[in-house]
Amino acid sequence: MHKVSNLTRSLSDADPLEGPAPTIAADLALAGGGQVSFDRLVRDLDPENLQGESLLRGWTRAHVIAHIGYNARALARLVQWARTGIENPMYKSAESRADEIDLGSALSHTGLIRLSSQEAALLEEAWTNLPEDRWAYKVKNAQGRMIAISETIWMRARELWLHAIDLNNGATVQDIPRPAAARIVQDVLTTWEGRDGHYVRSVATDAHVNFQPAGEGPSEPASGILTVSGTLTDLLTWATGRGHHGVVEINEDGREIGPAPAAHRWI
């Protein structure tokens, strides 16, 4: 197991930021709040700015909205898979996903509003009607990892809160509920360690909670151990590849070494 200095403890330790373990009901509320916030941003968007640049390279704001709409449809396919036991992947291929988003980005403002809200309603209905004994059923996500269908609710919530920022229409990282922000940072660190052997500890200077990858991981990280520090929102911005401000590398004594290196690819 990794040696953990007294500088860093995991989010799973008792901490007021985390609160109780996430539940299906809590995740549904988080996804619902994210959808309300996202739809408000879409409605408030000037139709003339739909084809303006989002914060995602190569995507307009219309691309982001189309992605959110079709993401709901893709997750609903997974819920159907869990309900019926018949495999129904999120997407036929990465190319078909990209083509779908490109086509959706050509919709009018009214069409994109309808796409976002209607597909979200259908996904919510699918979740609501899923029998209780199917929530643990395993399906395959877009990265090919087997997950319990219950994880799709958090996946959806995460997409909504992050892509609201990417719309480049006034939303900021500060709008993300803090427990959700902490959970996203944890997700990123766990993905890096599990997929790439890249072990990162993060010290949130304003939240009195530190993060490290979930699980034991390899005995020796492939790229050593990196420890970074910053506010929770700055850590989230850095970890998800949306900015670099305010995050520094520190040593085991908590002393600043210099600016944090560029974050690894997450998704």
Report the pLDDT value the prediction gives residue 221, as an integer from 0 to 100: 56
Using CA atoms in the order 95, 99, 101, 106, what is the torsion angle rounded to 10 degrees? 170
Report the pLDDT value the prediction gives residue 19, as an integer from 0 to 100: 53
CA atoms within 13 A on the CB side of 130: 29
Provide the token pair at 185.
């940072």
In terms of Cβ atoms closer than 10 Å to its own Cβ (0-12, 13-18, 19+), residue 13 is exposed
CA-based nearest residue to 55, from 243, 244, 261: 243
**Least trusted range by pLDDT, from 14-18, 195-199, 239-243:** 14-18
pLDDT at residue 14 tops 80: no
The model carries a pTM of 0.87
Report the pLDDT value the prediction gives residue 195, as an integer from 0 to 100: 86
Report the pLDDT value the prediction gives residue 22, as an integer from 0 to 100: 72
In terms of Cβ atoms closer than 10 Å to its own Cβ (0-12, 13-18, 19+), residue 110 is exposed
Most confident of 11-15, 72-76, 192-196: 72-76
The 10s digit of each residue's pLDDT in 60-80 is: 999 999 999 999 999 999 999
Report the pLDDT value the prediction gives residue 8, as an integer from 0 to 100: 33
CA distance 165 to 174: 10
The 10s digit of each residue's pLDDT in 86-124 is: 999 999 999 999 999 999 999 999 999 999 999 999 999
Instruction: Calculate the CA 253 to chain-centre distance.
Output: 31
CA distance 74 to 91: 7
Report the pLDDT value the prediction gives residue 188, as an integer from 0 to 100: 96
Query: What mean pLDDT do residues 243-262 have?
Result: 92
CA distance 173 to 178: 10
pLDDT at residue 7 tops 50: no
Residues of the chain with CATH 1.20.120.450: 24-171
Residue 223: pLDDT band (50, 70, 90) is low
Bridge partners, 226 (sequence order): 200
Provide the token pair at 6.
């007294």
Fold of 180-259: Nonspecific Lipid-transfer Protein; Chain A (3.30.1050)
CB 248 within 8 Å of CB 234: no
Fold of 24-171: Four Helix Bundle (Hemerythrin (Met), subunit A) (1.20.120)
3-state secondary structure of 255: coil
Share of the chain above pLDDT 90, in %: 76
Residues of the chain with CATH 3.30.1050.20: 180-259
CB 177 within 8 Å of CB 33: yes
3-state secondary structure of 35: helix
In terms of Cβ atoms closer than 10 Å to its own Cβ (0-12, 13-18, 19+), residue 170 is exposed
The 10s digit of each residue's pLDDT in 153-171 is: 999 999 999 999 999 999 9
